Amino acid sequence: MSENTQTAPATNTPSGYGWCAWHQNYARGVRLVQVIEQGSNGNGSLFACRPCRDVYDLVPLADQP
C-alpha cells in the first residue's frame, strides 16, 4: 500500500499549513478546533493537524453541528 503525503484532495474542507497547538509544531492540513478549557483562559480556538485530531478525538469547528 503506497501512501504519499498528498492524501487529501482539496474539496470543501479548508485546510492549510499552520501551527498545531497539540504537538507544538507547524504542520500541513491544520483545522480550526474549539477548545473548552476549565480553570485557565476559558474557551479558545486552536489549530490542530489531522494526526492530532485523530489522537485527541478533535472535531473541527466546520464539522460540528
Helix (H) or strand (E) holding 51: helix 50-56
Closest by CA position to 61, among listed 31, 20, 30: 31
Residue span 36-55 as binding mask against Zn ion, x where in contact by CB under 5 A, dash where not: -------------x--x---
How far apart CA 49 and CA 1 sit, in angstroms, is: 23
Residue of 18, 19, 23, 28 that binds Zn ion (CB under 5 A)? 23
Considering the complex, state which of residue 33 and residue 52 has its C-beta at the smaller distance from Zn ion: 52
Total residue length of the chain: 65
Considering the complex, state which of residue 2 and residue 57 has its C-beta at the smaller distance from Zn ion: 57
Binding site for Zn ion (CB under 5 A): 20, 22-23, 49, 52
